[in-house]
C-alpha cells in the first residue's frame, strides 16, 4: 500500500515546537538584553582578582562577548521559530542549526559550570572555618548539585537532538515543500 503525503499539511509537532520556542525565544531575548545591560554596567568595576584560576579570568575578560553571543542566539531562535510557524524551509534549516549550536553550547556549559562551581567552592572553603564533618556534608551537596546539573543538561541535549531528528524526517520536511 502506498503512502500519500498531502503537501502543506500542518502537523501538531511543528506548530507546538514553533510556539514553545517563540515563547522561550522571546523570554530569552528579554533576559539577554537585561543581562547585556548588567554586564555593561559592571564591567568597569569587575576585574578578575589576582587569585582566580586562568579559565575563570578568561571567562570574566570575555563576558561581554559571551553575553552578546547569547543575545544573538536568542534573537536567531525567535526569528527561526516564527519562520517555522509560517512553514518556511529556510527557517527550518536555521532552526536545526540553532538547536545544534545550543547542544554544543550546553555541552561546553558543563565544563564552564564545573569551573565556576569549583572556583566558588574553593574560595568558600578557604575562608570559612568549617569542622571536617560539615565540610564533608558540604562536599556531598556540591557533588549532588554537579551530577544533577549534568543529568539535566544531558537530558535537554537529548530532547533537542530528538527535535532535530523529527524536523529532518520526510514527514515534516514535506510540510515545508
> How far apart, in whole angstroms, are the C-alpha atoms of residue 88 and residue 73?
19
pLDDT over 90 percentage in the chain: 42
> What are the extents of the domains in the chain?
12-176
Q: pTM value?
A: 0.77
Element (H, E) at 162: helix 132-167
Instruction: Tell me which of 84-88, 101-105, 119-123 is least confident.
Output: 119-123
Amino acid at each position: 500500500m502506498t503512502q500519500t503525503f498531502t503537501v502543506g499539511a500542518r502537523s501538531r509537532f511543528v506548530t507546538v515546537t514553533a510556539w514553545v520556542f517563540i515563547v522561550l525565544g522571546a523570554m530569552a531575548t528579554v533576559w539577554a538584553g537585561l543581562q547585556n545591560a548588567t554586564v555593561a554596567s559592571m564591567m568597569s568595576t569587575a576585574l578578575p582578582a589576582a587569585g582566580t584560576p586562568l579559565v575563570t579570568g578568561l571567562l570574566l575578560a570575555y563576558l561581554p562577548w559571551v553575553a552578546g553571543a547569547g543575545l544573538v542566539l536568542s534573537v536567531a531562535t525567535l526569528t527561526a521559530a516564527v519562520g517555522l510557524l509560517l512553514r518556511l524551509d529556510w527557517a527550518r534549516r536555521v532552526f536545526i542549526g540553532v538547536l545544534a549550536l545550543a547542544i554544543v553550547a550546553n555541552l561546553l556549559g558543563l565544563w564552564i559550570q564545573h569551573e565556576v562551581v569549583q572556583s566558588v567552592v574553593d574560595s568558600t572553603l578557604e575562608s570559612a572555618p568549617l569542622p571536617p564533618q560539615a565540610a564533608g556534608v558540604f562536599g556531598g551537596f556540591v557533588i549532588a548539585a554537579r551530577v544533577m546539573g549534568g543529568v539535566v543538561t544531558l537530558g535537554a541535549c537529548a530532547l533537542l537532538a530528538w527535535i532535530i531528528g523529527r524536523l529532518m524526517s520526510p514527514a515534516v520536511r514535506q510540510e515545508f515543500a
